[in-house]
A = this chain, B = another copy of it.
Amino acid sequence: MARSGRLSSLGDQRENGRQQILDVIRTTESIARIDIAKATGMSPATVTSITAELLSAGLIEEVAPDASAESRRGRPRVALRICGKARLIAGIKVSHHLISAVLTDFVGEELASHEMPLSQGRMPVQDLCTQILRTLEIACQKGNLSINDLSGVGVGIAGMVDAERNFVYWSSSLDERNVSLGDALAQVLPCPVFLDNDANLVAKAEHLFGEGRTCENFIVITIEHGVGMGIVIDGKIYRGSRGCGAELGHTKVHLEGALCQCGQRGCLEAYVGDYALLREANLSSGGARHATLASLFEAAQNGDAVARSILDRARRMFAMGLANVVNIFDPSKIILAGARLSFDHLYSDKVIEEMRHWVVQVDAPLPEVIVHDWGDLMWAKGAAAYGIEEVTTQTVKELANAAA
């Protein structure tokens, strides 16, 4: 029954202590030293020593004690909080025809933002880097901030991303495969870059300030040009061993089925994506042709049988995909996130109703399904949250190296 355990050194312990204390302070917004000791199980002496270090590094600051009920009972306690001015962070979301940027302080407060349309969906890596830089520069100008003060940039992009290596295996925004986008961005930006799949960052945003705040196990499904998924297990994003997990859009729902933009057949995306609907709408001989989704939706609403049949199948396929997610993860919550406008047929009560029929039937309440449509700027805020997290980890490592 032997299994090799990972043994951690005392130096690691101190590093973990710094990270743990920063996490507790961030989560509680402000907290006294003695309560940090209680929350972490560390000795008061250790907490005093580590917080002194974090104070002198400027990462946290003291809050003057207020006259609240709790503090009146004894000696007023000085609380600690994250120092907003400690770092300037940016979050970027690369969509198919838009770049969204948000600037936040180290607490996560938004300072400025900018959105820039892209003339093309798919482009060379250098062009994408230039566009991201320009979007950031304009956002900085708007907020009267200097881009050189940035400590970190979180970037979310659709596709197969290995977050650990800042590496893009494939993205619908890039015209080649296997791009070290993190490295390329680092050459034009004055600070570290942290790259992740965009659906993962929506999941992070939902966890930090959205519908997943009170939930440690939930699934986010994003519908845009393609279908994305973010998985939160025990409060952490699940990425898979190569960073290529959560590809719900490319799970197969039909053996040798419809052709997908990925080149394979039978992918869920090839039935519910916008391109899949337009493909059918344009080929249908029984009804009128439709150049846009809006026209297809209108025809369906007006009773056009072919248009209805196209949307019906998409809806049923999507319900089946959702049911498969429930059958595999049995999550406590599913959040459908994305730009609502184009995908109303997939957000309907009918989808959720059909999903219920295809879920393994047990006499227990089904997961809650929530529709949460928010704009690209919220996705960018998720990217900024990722940036804050990674900059915190990096800073803790620097403190550890300085102490060693």
Interface residues of A (CB under 8 A from B): 1-5, 7-10, 12-13, 16, 23-24, 26-29, 35, 38-39, 41, 107-108, 160, 162, 169-170, 177-178, 207-209, 213-214, 217, 229, 233-234, 238-248, 250-255, 262-264, 266, 316-317, 320, 323-324, 327-332, 357-358, 360-365, 367, 385
Contact = CB atoms under 8 A, between A and B. Distances in A.
B360 A247 contact: yes
Nearest to A331: B241
Contact of A330 (B244, B254, B331): B244
A27 to B, nearest CB: 4
Contacts of A1: 26, 29, 107-108, 208-209, 385
A70 to B, nearest CB: 14
A242 B362 CA distance: 9
A330 B243 CA distance: 7
A358 B240 contact: no
Contacts of A245: 327-330
Q: Which of A7, A262, A320, A357 has the most CB of B within 10 A?
A: A7
B208 A241 contact: no
A240 B334 CA distance: 13
A204 to B, nearest CB: 11
A362 B13 CA distance: 37
A9 B24 contact: no
A76 to B, nearest CB: 21
Given A1-B209, A247-B328, A362 B7 contact: no
Contacts of A162: 364
Given A27-B3, A41-B10, A243-B330, A361 B252 contact: no
Nearest to A327: B247
A39 B251 contact: no
A240 B385 CA distance: 26
A374 to B, nearest CB: 16
Contacts of A244: 327, 330, 360, 362, 364
B317 A3 contact: no
A281 to B, nearest CB: 20
Contacts of A262: 360-361
A27 B2 CA distance: 5
Contact of A362 (B26, B160, B251, B364): B160
Given A252-B323, A328-B246, A38 B24 contact: no
